[in-house]
Structure 1
Amino acid sequence: MSPHTKAQLQIHFCVLLWGFTAIVGKLITLAALPLVWWRMLIAAGALAVLPRVWHACRRMSPRLVAGYAFVGVALALHWLTFYASVKLANASVAATCMGLAPAFLALIEPVIMRRPFDLRELALGIAVIPGVALVAGGLPDAMFEGLVVGIVSAFFVAIYGVVNKRLVDASDPLAITALELATGVVVLGLAMPFVASTGEAFAVPGAADAFWLTVLALVLTVLPLTLSLVAMRHISAFGVQLATNLEPVYVVLIAMVLFGEHHELTWQFYAGLAVILGAVLAYPLIKRAE
């Protein structure tokens, strides 16, 4: 098996796991900010007990640490807006908004990676925009705010993906993940008293929330984040993000079964989802034809 094929399989396994994050986020009763803070704290704490992580972190230059810290802030903002979208709309809408990330990536990645713009990537990124427009037209008015926040989340995940791609080869994947998560814990912890609603700052989860937060942090965060960093060494950030666009399919199907979300959405939403999925399937076919 070639490294590229292996990396593709790893990414799709990560996407399957990520497909459950919106579902678990809906099951957790905490608001978006404490939810993300606890998620990052538990995950960072689990990685902090590994000597391998500490050894790798000590070998990092200050400039490299600053780069990973920047990525950690982008990741924290992505998760914060993603779960806010889940709370304001639903899991299907929040996941579908991630389909805009390739449009952002097609513009951002060439600048940061210092490579020419790829017209095919631009075209495929633009192709998802009508899909998101259809999604917006298929939403009740009460969910529109969640859609807007979800689009902001797609921008942050594009920033996260492209900068991570630039720095991924410079250190150990577990150490990178730990440092990024720890940065998110610090930044969100400092911000929480100022932006959280009364009584929500550093909210202590109940037993059920604590269980789902542990699943979210360990099974759906540490494992796929680390594995995706390994895969990124053989796939472009744009290719990774297009594969990630399969996440809405998993989320929508699961949400249909568990929450009956299909009753809240119209045919336009699913037509838009089909357009986004079409772009996902078109990308590997085009790359194979090169």
Structure 2
Amino acid sequence: MQESKLKNYLLLHLIVFIWGFTAILGALISLDAIPLVWYRMSLAVVFILFYFLFKKKSFKVDAKGVFKFLVTGVIIALHWIFFFKAIKVSNVSVALVTMSTGAFFVSLIEPIFFKRRIKTLEIVLGLIVILGLYIIFNFESQYKLGIIYALISSFLSALFSVFNGLFIKRYEADTISLYQLLFGVLFITIYLLINNGFSTSFFEVQKSDWLYLIILSSICTAYAFIASVKVMKYLSPYTVMLTINLEPIYAIILAIFIFGDKEKMNPAFYLGAFIVLFVVLLNGVIKNRTVIRNKIKEKTVRKK
């Protein structure tokens, strides 16, 4: 049992490392954000379709589910477009630190859909995150557009995460992913058709870009998704949350090694980044302690 936990814990770290590598690939691929996301989602759909066929899984979904996945598929497509735009106009470090604000956005959105009160602590922590971003924004003014794009991407990420939190109660995770990716591709395809985006140059992809796109769509999207679902069956939410919060750190370290001076920032950036990442980590620790405490209380009440 202990060996199984260790194996899955190491696998989780690999998954988080892979997610962090997504940003690196986004910087390495020469395509603009929209074609990059179109290729990523299209290829990921193909890989997950093969997975469904291999596992002989059913594609059947009710009409309400189709509509839900249509809406969230569009949100996910926009989230990735703004994410890669942020990387293209700034760098990996700025984009990922700003993306860490997702926890703050979730704390504002979640109460609306789960019908609970907004907690004062979440607002306080959110304000501290804004302080960290202000420090970055103020001292790295050349990256303002990248920060704005990353904030939009972070909000959209929080939005579809909350929706998926509702969907997972009724639908299987791989089914949700397949249809959301499919509808995301269709959304971008319609946009490109309207704007005559499917030119000859759109399909002229460099060999190195093809390699990066295949890695991005197969390992970083299809595999990481399926593996993460498996891992969550064996590890506690607390362990998963703490490990996932290492993603920006892994990616920033990788980016410094790969891109060198382009990723080296002034000391104020690292101060702001530390504030943002520390608050995100603290928020996760507090939330999971509350969950554990509530579970203990429930067990105690049952025994009585």
* TM range, smaller chain: 0.7 to 0.9
Determine the C-alpha separation between the residues in 1 that align with 2:239 and 2:36.
Answer: 29
Determine the C-alpha separation between the residues in 2 that align with 1:186 and 1:272.
Answer: 38
RMSD, aligned α-carbons:
3.2
Question: For residue 114 of structure 1, what is the aligned residue in structure 2?
Answer: 115
Specify whether residues 6 and 130 from structure 1 end up closer, same or farther in structure 2 by C-alpha distance, changes over 3 A only. Answer: farther
Question: For residue 224 of structure 1, what is the aligned residue in structure 2?
Answer: 224
TM-score relative to the length of structure 2 = 0.82
**How many Å apart are 1:6 and its aligned residue?**
10
After alignment, is 152-161 or 238-247 more displaced?
Answer: 238-247
**How many Å apart are 1:158 and its aligned residue?**
0.6
> 1:192-271 alignment to 2 at 5 Å?
192-194=192-194, 199=199, 202-228=202-228, 244-261=244-261, 264-271=264-271
Determine the C-alpha separation between the residues in 1 that align with 2:236 and 2:196.
Answer: 38
> 1:154-165 alignment to 2 at 5 Å?
154-165=154-165
Output the amino acid matched with 1:82.
Answer: F
Question: For residue 132 of structure 1, what is the aligned residue in structure 2?
Answer: 133
- What secondary structure, in the 3-state scheme, does the structure 2 residue paired with 1:260 have? helix
Determine the C-alpha separation between the residues in 2 that align with 1:57 and 1:90.
Answer: 39
Unpaired stretches in structure 2, ≥5 consecutive residues: 294-304
TM-score relative to the length of structure 1 = 0.85
Output the amino acid matched with 2:17.
Answer: L
Specify whether residues 129 and 171 from structure 1 end up closer, same or farther in structure 2 by C-alpha distance, changes over 3 A only. Answer: same
Specify whether residues 240 and 154 from structure 1 end up closer, same or farther in structure 2 by C-alpha distance, changes over 3 A only. Answer: farther
Question: For residue 103 of structure 2, what is the aligned residue in structure 1?
Answer: 102
Tell me the alpha carbon deviations over residues 91-140 of structure 1, each in whole angstroms, 9 at most, x when there is no partner: 11111111221121111011112233233333333321111111212314
* Residues 92 and 263 in structure 2, CA contact (< 8 A), matched pair in contact too: no
**How many Å apart are 1:275 and its aligned residue?**
0.5
**How many Å apart are 1:17 and its aligned residue?**
1.6
- What secondary structure, in the 3-state scheme, does the structure 1 residue paired with 2:101 have? helix
Tell me the alpha carbon deviations over residues 75-97 of structure 1, each in whole angstroms, 9 at most, x when there is no partner: 11110000001111111111111
Choose which of 35, 56, 63 in structure 1 pairs with 2:58. Answer: 56
* Structure label with greater radius of gyration: 2
* Residues 133 and 272 in structure 2, CA contact (< 8 A), matched pair in contact too: yes
Output the amino acid matched with 1:44.
Answer: V
Output the amino acid matched with 1:255.
Answer: A
**How many Å apart are 1:48 and its aligned residue?**
1.5
- What secondary structure, in the 3-state scheme, does the structure 1 residue paired with 2:168 have? helix
Output the amino acid matched with 1:139.
Answer: E
What percent of counterpart residues are identical? 29
Alignment coverage as a number of residue pairs: 286
Specify whether residues 248 and 194 from structure 1 end up closer, same or farther in structure 2 by C-alpha distance, changes over 3 A only. Answer: farther
**How many Å apart are 1:24 and its aligned residue?**
0.6
Specify whether residues 111 and 54 from structure 1 end up closer, same or farther in structure 2 by C-alpha distance, changes over 3 A only. Answer: farther
Determine the C-alpha separation between the residues in 2 that align with 1:76 and 1:88.
Answer: 18
* Residues 93 and 146 in structure 1, CA contact (< 8 A), matched pair in contact too: yes
**How many Å apart are 1:247 and its aligned residue?**
2.3
Specify whether residues 6 and 137 from structure 1 end up closer, same or farther in structure 2 by C-alpha distance, changes over 3 A only. Answer: farther
**How many Å apart are 1:244 and its aligned residue?**
4.4
Specify whether residues 232 and 6 from structure 1 end up closer, same or farther in structure 2 by C-alpha distance, changes over 3 A only. Answer: same
